Each structure stands twice: as structure tokens, then as C-alpha cells.
Amino acid sequence: MGIRARRESWVLGLLGAAFALAGGGALQAQTTMPSSLRYGSGLFDIPTAGVLPHRAISATYSGFRVSVDRRVLTDATGRGVAFGGEFSKWMSDASVAVGLFDRVELGATLQSFADADNGGTMAGGFGHVAILSPQRTGLGLGVGARFVTAPSYDAVDPNVNFQPPRLGFPDARLRDDYGAGVEEVNTTFSPYAVATAYLAGVDSDVLPRHDVTLTLGYGLGMFQEGNELNWNSFASSQGWFAGSAVHVQVGQDKLLNVMGEYNGFDVNAGVQLDLSGIRIGAFVLGANYLEKVTEYRSAKFGVLGSVAFCPGNGGLCKSHLLPRAKPDTVQLPAPPPDTVIVTREVTPPLPTGTPASLCLATGEEVQILVTAQSDTLLGPQRVSVRTLRPAAVFAGTYAQGRDWFTRDEQITFERRRYAKFGEAVSLRCSEIVRVGEHQGVPLFARTDAQRPYNTLYVPVRPGVWQAYQTGVGRTRGE
């Protein structure tokens, strides 16, 4: 019991520290993650470091079939127990989750609804805090907890404290006390800590665009309890869980998520297709069990359906990959052929213009020439941008053409709301510094400004910046 107490103190302490850190600087929105079976964002049965965007709401239904012959089993002490023939049933779960401030996800789950003699109602809630954003470091860190009410079996024994099993349905075999020699079981409360690495996929003409996420975590409760019960567990990791997913872009705002995980007891695998916020999936639970010994030690096939709604985007949540870096240089036209016959060589004079500089969204300045006809000249040969389009690309990510910018929507930074203010202006890179980003577009403030910032600057296009101020009020896009 001493080892368990130390584990609980460690995880609960980290959970408390996370909520304390939630009062600090705001996190950027996480990469789109799939829906778990019962507990909001995540893989099938394990959490990840990602959370829903601010004010986003997701609702999920999942179900799977259990079919086993459990006529003769053994209890925790090895004694024979009869359970009465073949057991076959479709199990269903439902959950709803909401994202807050791009850093917190809260939700509720319903796993069973029956009378008191047949398990009663199993319902609960869950919460997750994202401590570290993956957008800058590629690593996300979060903590959270799950709570599920215990089932009741008044007809079996009203004095026994039963416990909720990890598969989400009531089971009279799982209780907190099995007597001497067997460790107590407590699965109603399951705190955890988890880290997720967000990796942009390899850019290739052969492979489709994709990202990869790798997850590792440690938890109590359902992640490790009941490992001594041979009908419940073949092997246990003592609380460690891990998973991975490949997120493949299959169309505009559409991702195919191919996932696998180990939840501390079982290996689960499957796919989930995200069609711009409408998610459908198929999976197998307990793929590591070749024989159907019990409900827990058997392979189970199921399906999932989920909807994620983002009011800030005016509809369903758009699925997306990690942003890719824009090239830092301008690609001029290809050099001439190797062999050129010249009868008379006359070097034309280079076009002239007024020197100027552009501050890019990367925080770097590039030198250009502006002609009397308002044309922009680039490079040593002073090539016109008009002749290069659309091949010429300035480095950085810009707001021009994005829906939230076109509709004059407000933006959120460090828990403050900002709205467009005044006309677009030109700024020098020495006057501003990057402080964050909004939906992939960087945010800047004056170098001499102090937090909390009253004014932010959004790069509209190279050299052109739009001011956003707090306290301005609602705009026409809201």
C-alpha cells in the first residue's frame, strides 16, 4: 500500500500543479485529435496532450459487441466460479466534451443505464488540462482525471462496494475487496499525466501529406487496478499507457486517423475518418487476445460516431495538419540552357526604383525596389514580382484570405479578446516582436509594449500589418 500511496501522491500533485499553471500565459490551439470512445479527445481508451479548441463541443457514441463463453471461470484466488453459459451483448457508451481557452477540456460520460438490481447507472465526468503547447516545441504535456460512478447490484449483495470496469459496462465480479492476499481495487477515480509528440510527416511525392503523434503516459485507477484478477487481466503495465497515430490528409479539411494503443491492459487498434468535424470509425479492442476467455480477455469489434462543433469557426470543427514552414527565399526563374549562341551581346540596363524594405511574418526584413509604376523588383537582377507570380512566395504565414480575417472576427490571446482597429499599416521588423499566434498566423506586439498587451499586429501580407485592440467591442463578423 505504501507504493500505491506514493504513486497517487505523485500523480495528484502533478494534477494540482497543472491547474495552478492554468492561470499563466495562454496556450495556442492544439492539433486536431480524434475522439476517444468515452472520454473526449484522445485515442480509443487513452488520453493525449491535445484538447478541443475554445468553445468547441463534441458529442460521441461508441459501441462494440462482446461474445464469450464464460460458463466456468476462476476468481481472484483461483477458485472455480460458474456464470451461466454464453454471454453476448452489444455495449454502448456516450459522451460530450467542451473546450475552454484552448487549454482545458471538460466532459461527461454515460456508460450504463439500468435498475439497481442489474448494475444501475454508470455515469461520470472527465477533465484535462494542457500544460505545454506543441505548436512551438513539437511536444505537448497534459494532466487530467476520469471519474465514473460505481455500479450497484442490490439483488446480489447491497453491502458490497462494486467498481466500474474499464470496458464501460457494470460487472458484478469487480468489487473493491476480495479478502486477504488480494490488493483492493479502486477504479472510480483515474488521474493521469501524459505527453504527446507532434511530428510533421515526411514531405514526399510518393506519400500523402501526413502527421504523426506519439503518446506516453502514466495513470491510476482504470489504468492499473484489477491486475491481480485473472479473469480481468492477462498482464498489466502497472499504470503505463502508450499509443501512436498517423493523421493522413485525404481532402480539404479531411483526415484519416490510423491509430494503435496500449491502455495498460489491452492492445486496441482501428481507424477514424474526420470529415470536417463529422467523425466515423471502426476499431478492435483487445487485439492481443487470441482466445475468447472473458469479456476483458477477448477481441471485440466496434464502431464510433462523433460530431465536433466550433462556434468560433461558424460551424463544424475543421481538421488540419501541423502548419508547414514557408520557404525563406524567392525562387527566381530557371537559368538559361547550357548552350547559347550569341551574335551580339548587349547588356540591358537594370530597371531602377526606390529602395524599400518589407517586414515578413517571420520577423525578418527583405530589401526590394518599387518602380514608378508601383511594381516590386526582387533580387540582384531586379526581377518583377508580376512576372514571377504565382511561383514567388514570401516566407511566413499571413491572414489575407483566411475566413476569420475576412469576416472581421475577434481573436483571443492570453484570455483577452481583440478586434480590428484602424487601417492596415507598414511596420519595420525592429519595431515589433512575435508574442504568439492565432490559427497558425503569428501575432506581434510593439517591442516597447508590456503585458497585458493592448494592441496586437497581424501580418496581412508581406509588409502590411493590421492592428487589433482589446476593448474595442464586437465586430460585424461576430
**Which residues, at least 6 apart from 158, have a Cβ–Cβ distance to it below 8 Å?**
152
pLDDT score of 459: 94
With cut-offs at 50, 70 and 90, classify the pLDDT of residue 192. Answer: very high
pLDDT tens figures, 323-332: 766 655 555 5
Q: Which residues contact 252 (CB under 8 A, 6 or more apart)?
A: none
Cα–Cα distance measured from residue 50 to residue 105, given in angstroms and rounded to the nearest whole number: 9
* Tens of pLDDT, residues 7-41: 455 444 544 444 444 333 333 434 578 999 999 99
Residue-level pLDDT at 382: 61
pLDDT value for 158: 77
Q: Provide CB contacts within 8 A for 250, sequence distance 6+.
A: 208, 256, 273
For residue 428, give every residue at least 6 positions away whose Cβ sits within 8 Å of its Cβ, in sequence order, or none.
357, 359, 365
Classified by CATH at the fold level, domain 2-311 comes out as: Porin (2.40.160)
Give the domain ranges of the chain: 2-311, 325-478
**Residue 472 scores a pLDDT above 80:** no
pLDDT digits (tens, 9 = 90+) for 65-113: 988 876 545 554 444 444 556 778 899 999 999 999 888 999 999 999 8
User: What is the residue type of 253?
Assistant: D
Among 87, 92, 97, smallest CA distance to 112 is for 92
pLDDT value at position 92?
93
Band of residue 338 on the pLDDT scale cut at 50, 70, 90: low
Share of the chain above pLDDT 90, in %: 42
Q: For position 476, what pLDDT does the model report?
A: 45
Question: Residue type for 126, please?
Answer: F
Instruction: Name 445's bridge partners.
Output: 433
Provide the pLDDT for residue 22: 38
Comparing C-alpha atoms, which of 426, 430, 431 is closest to residue 466?
426
Rg value, the chain, Cα: 28
Name which residue leads in pLDDT, 284 or 200.
284
